[in-house]
Amino acid sequence: MATSGHEKEKEIFTCCICLEQLKSPSSLPCLHTFCFQCISEYILSTERRSGHKLLNYTCPVCRITVTPSNVETDTTQWIKSLQRNLTISPLIETTKEPQNQECHICKRKKKHISATKWCRDCTEAYCDDCCDTHSFITSLTNHKVVDIKSIQTNEEEIDLFKISDSCPVHSSKVIEAYCFDHLQLCCVLCVTYQHRQCKDVQAIEDLTSKKDDSCSFESNLTEIQSGTEKLLQAQKDEKITLKKSFSSIESIVIDSVNSAKSQLDSLLISFSKELKMMEEKHQDKIDSKLDIFEKLLNDIIELLRITTYIRAYGSKTHFFIHLQKSKTELISEIEKSVKLLFEIRVVKTTVDIENALHRIMKLEQVGKVLITEGKKEFVAEYIGILRDQSHLHASTVFPYLHLIKRKLVHVLSEYDLFGGVCISDQTIALCCRSKSSSGSQPYHLIIVDASTGKVINECKIPDGTKGLTYDTLNTTLYISSSSTIYSVRCDQQIMQPRYIKHTGTQYYGGICMKDNYLYVNVGTEIKKMNLNQNNGLQAAFSINSSNKNPSGFNALTIDYKNGRLIHASENGNVVSTSLDGKEIFSHYMTGTTSVVVNSNGFIFAGYKHGYVRLILEDGEQDRTLLGKCDKIKELRDIWLNKSENTLFICGNEYVELYDVTY
């Protein structure tokens, strides 16, 4: 009887498809339970054999017809929604027989003795006697040895033996190195034949002996998990809000129709049907997005769980292999999700009710549902999390960044603007020339309210300006002109230029600031000055630019993300160099007048004839962000505000503001 009961119990926990013990038990509506992988493959293979999407399926056991709740849903998504059998899973655990891991050393001696210990460094199991011998060997005394029961009975059910150290290309070889150029695990043959030209190939032994970065990887996963949960919750909230808004519209329309004559009944029915169709359409869009982000979140949680366990119980080699494989898989999944992010729009609904009820017999409908869409604020924030935590390449979001015209500021027509910079959220500093002045036409520095164009403060500058930069900490502007560098305190009621460097023989161009150093384009050189020491300009390196062309205003800036300079050469190319002058790239352009870089390393380049291009941080790709300014005929300078969500463009007597959006 006991045997019969045991066999019956075994049948209950056996998948009818693979005839093995159930794994991730999932049930069909008829309550027959299968391994999730088995029933998934069964349904998908049935569909593949038919050559088209099926509207229903049959249970492999009772042959009852199973119809998805929503036949329009993708088959793979419907399979994922199958009910998990939470009752049978814990019962399976109680029937599991403990695995008997044999000692590896004894096994090589043709003996069969159960192991009690596991060495994470040797990746071998030992009995008590062999473990004692292992501990006496000097070179092995620092190895991490754990109780094998803690591995065999772990609740995570993660099998460390499945993390193979075999080369994915040459299965007979062991993974011995990692190529950072191609992000690939390599054996000695891979290194010899496929990666011998690569610059950064390191032995796994050297990499695993370095500081363990497992915690940082788990921290990155946690950050992504948190961001994904926020994004998912926002989408769920959006669904609820959308439902409420449509319900509100329906109520408004019903109340309006109920107060009218009976002739409105037919129009009410027609409107309600149309409204329901529109609601279902938009709800379906959100449902599809929810499914994708729920999958991403589940994948991230699962990866985090596995990573935590492997870090605790696996060897460093295990963890490193897992780490690199997981990063590659994670980035691939995230890139798919990022593409969806740029399709997310805010759906707002309103209704326009007809008030002229005296013309009721002529009405063809009771109202119009107006739907407007816009970007969610959290999208850019989530993309930032993905880029920072998963090292997502900038080219993934590069195509989606664009400019939206927000405002045109008309500074007094008596001024001709040459360049500017933000000194606060509300005010900008502009270098300009007064058109009304006769003779010498003195130059001015003016402080302007960006919302109204009103001049708040101003002072005269003796000669023509070529560049300016702002020191936020000291509220000080540094300005370069044809032969002078001087500073102006912006927090003083009466602004007064103070000479820092003056000579009649040198020609100053663009200017920028980093770590209390001023970098200035002087003729064909980049020079720098330590503001703390005030020891004058020191030559840094030579460049291919004389900056004697007035169109090259402020064509010098700092890329803070990568710690380098970006400037325009004499022929208009956008050039990136290290702070000591080593050229990193030269991007072919013509007519560059100004450049600015955001915290993501994206380079905005302004051109004389009024268009703006965006260049990737590696200089490999570029595209047009703005084909033509609204009022500006000759673009002189561009700059970003502190939060980098607004791009300012100046030229002639105008400043144009553009929202930088994804």
Q: What is the pLDDT of residue 476?
A: 92
Q: Is residue 136 over pLDDT 90?
A: no
* Bigger pLDDT: 11 vs 639: 639
Kindly state the DSSP code that residue 127 receives in the 8-state scheme: -
Q: What is the pLDDT of residue 272?
A: 82
Q: How far is CA 2 from CA 88, 404, 625, in A?
A: 21, 76, 77
Q: What is the pLDDT of residue 635?
A: 92
Q: What are 541-574's pLDDT values in tens digits?
A: 887 654 444 444 458 999 998 899 998 887 778 9
Confidence of residue 298 (pLDDT cuts 50, 70, 90): confident
Spatial contact of 502 and 483, defined as CB atoms under 8 Å apart: yes
Q: What is the pLDDT of residue 466?
A: 78
Spatial contact of 645 and 660, defined as CB atoms under 8 Å apart: yes
CA torsion sign for 82, 84, 85, 89 is positive
- Interval 174-181 mean pLDDT: 87
Q: What percent of the chain has pLDDT over 70?
A: 80
- Of 113-122, 338-347, 444-453, least confident by mean pLDDT is 338-347
- Interval 423-440 mean pLDDT: 80
Confidence of residue 366 (pLDDT cuts 50, 70, 90): low
- Residues 6 or more apart from 262 whose CB is under 8 A from it? none
- Interval 62-79 mean pLDDT: 78
**Whole-angstrom Cα distance, residue 432 to residue 558?**
23
Length of the chain counted residue by residue: 662
Q: What is the pLDDT of residue 154?
A: 46
Strand 201-203 and strand 583-587: pairing?
A: unpaired
Q: Is residue 50 over pLDDT 60?
A: yes
- Residues 6 or more apart from 68 whose CB is under 8 A from it? 55, 56, 78
Q: What is the pLDDT of residue 386?
A: 67
Confidence of residue 577 (pLDDT cuts 50, 70, 90): very high
- Of 2-6, 128-132, 264-268, least confident by mean pLDDT is 2-6
- Of 2-16, 150-164, 469-483, least confident by mean pLDDT is 150-164
> Which amino acid belongs to residue 594?
S
> Which amino acid belongs to residue 423?
I
Q: What is the pLDDT of residue 552?
A: 44
- Of 45-49, 174-178, 246-250, least confident by mean pLDDT is 45-49
Q: What are 94-113's pLDDT values in tens digits?
A: 555 445 678 888 988 888 88
User: Taking all residues of the chain, what is their mean pLDDT, rounded to a whole number?
Assistant: 79
Kindly state the DSSP code that residue 504 receives in the 8-state scheme: S
Residue 107, classed as helix, strand or coil, is helix
**Whole-angstrom Cα distance, residue 18 to residue 42?**
11
- Of 380-384, 415-419, 495-499, least confident by mean pLDDT is 380-384
Q: What is the pLDDT of residue 557?
A: 93
User: 136-145, 151-160, 191-200, 321-330 — which one is most confidently predicted on average?
Assistant: 191-200
CA torsion sign for 24, 27, 32, 36 is negative
Strand 367-372 and strand 646-651: pairing?
A: unpaired
Q: How far is CA 564 from CA 26, 62, 381, 521, 557, in A?
A: 55, 69, 25, 15, 9
Q: Is residue 40 over pLDDT 80?
A: yes
Spatial contact of 652 and 634, defined as CB atoms under 8 Å apart: yes
The Cβ of residue 255 has, within 10 Å, a number of other Cβ atoms equal to 10
- Of 316-320, 553-557, 578-582, 598-602, least confident by mean pLDDT is 553-557
- Residues 6 or more apart from 377 whose CB is under 8 A from it? none
Q: Is residue 459 over pLDDT 70?
A: yes
Q: What is the pLDDT of residue 553?
A: 47
Q: What is the pLDDT of residue 422?
A: 94
